[in-house]
Amino acid sequence: MKKLILTLFTSAILFFLPACVSNETANSDTVKQSEIYQSYNVTYDAGDLELSASAFFRFGGAAGTTLSLVKPSNITFNGTEMAMGKNIFSGTFYETDQQVTTSGSYTFIFIDTDNKTYTNTANIAPLEISEYPSEFKKGDGLKVKWKGKPVQQDETIYLSLEGKEYINCSSSTNIVGTNTVDISPDLLKDLKPGDANIVLKREKKSSLAQATHLGGSLTITYIAKKVGVKVE
């Protein structure tokens, strides 16, 4: 099967990490607590009503050794302790998955082995596909408008068209203030005529409000409910 991937687009939290990022694990009580780097991800999929969150702790920076938290150190997400996971690609991480309607605001609280607390909140900005052609010709391109906040600082909106034979065509915009995004005819040239799905995703990346001197990262993703279209 032919598979065209122009932009990575996914509704799950995936850990695609550069080769230079460590996948090794150490216990958090063996390192200096002020040298821990925090990394958080929150994703809400409106189509599946699924909320996913993950947390990484690394020694020495964003590419450092992953850490397994040793009591009294722990990480909670909206008051519930996160479960530990581990794989050969990403090392040790913490995660949670819930079937819920979004409340819009979620808080990570990390306590290190020195009992120092770091609190960071993720505010999710929903979006809904509101204007689009129910049928369109590939040569005309595709333009989609959404209901919800326009693009904010440090945000990107991704538009993906899922077609037959696993062919996906995608584009994005990070123009602050816009509420439309389009896929040009050139990017649609390999798409097969027939039924397809429009997928819209909002992603915001920012630094943490509370972190060690190394800083930290927070990525927030909202995936709108898919809508069907016909491609001619």
Express each pLDDT in 74-98 by its tens digit. Answer: 999 999 999 999 988 889 999 999 9
Number of other residues whose CB lies within 10 A of the CB of residue 46: 18
Q: 0.85 cut: is pTM over it?
A: yes
pLDDT of residue 16: 41
pLDDT computed for residue 164 by the predictor: 80
The pair phi, psi for residue 27, each rounded to 5°, is -75, 140
Could you check whether 25-123 and 127-202+227-231 share the same CATH topology?
yes
Beta 50-59 vs 36-45: how paired, if at all? antiparallel
Percentage of residues of the chain with pLDDT beyond 90: 81
19 has pLDDT over 60 = no
Other beta carbons less than 10 A from residue 205's beta carbon: 13
CATH 2.60.40 fits 25-123, yes or no: yes
Confidence of residue 13 (pLDDT cuts 50, 70, 90): very low
Q: Average pLDDT over the chain, rounded to whole?
A: 90
For 27-66, what is each residue's pLDDT tens digit? 999 999 999 999 999 999 999 999 999 999 999 999 999 9
pLDDT computed for residue 165 by the predictor? 75
Q: Please tell me the distance from the alpha carbon of residue 84 to that of residue 93, in angstroms, as a whole number.
A: 6
**Architecture field, domain 127-202+227-231:** Sandwich (2.60)
Give the pLDDT mean for 207-220. Answer: 98
> By the 8 A CB rule, do 96 and 118 touch?
no
Q: What is the pLDDT of residues 154-197, one digit of tens each?
A: 999 999 999 887 778 999 999 999 999 999 999 998 888 999 99
Question: Tens digits of per-residue pLDDT, 123-159?
Answer: 999 999 999 999 999 999 999 999 999 999 999 999 9
- Say which residues have a Cβ less than 8 Å from residue 230's Cβ, sequence separation at least 6: 134, 135, 136, 194, 195, 196
Separation of alpha carbons 59 and 67, rounded Å: 7
Domain borders along the chain are 25-123, 127-202+227-231
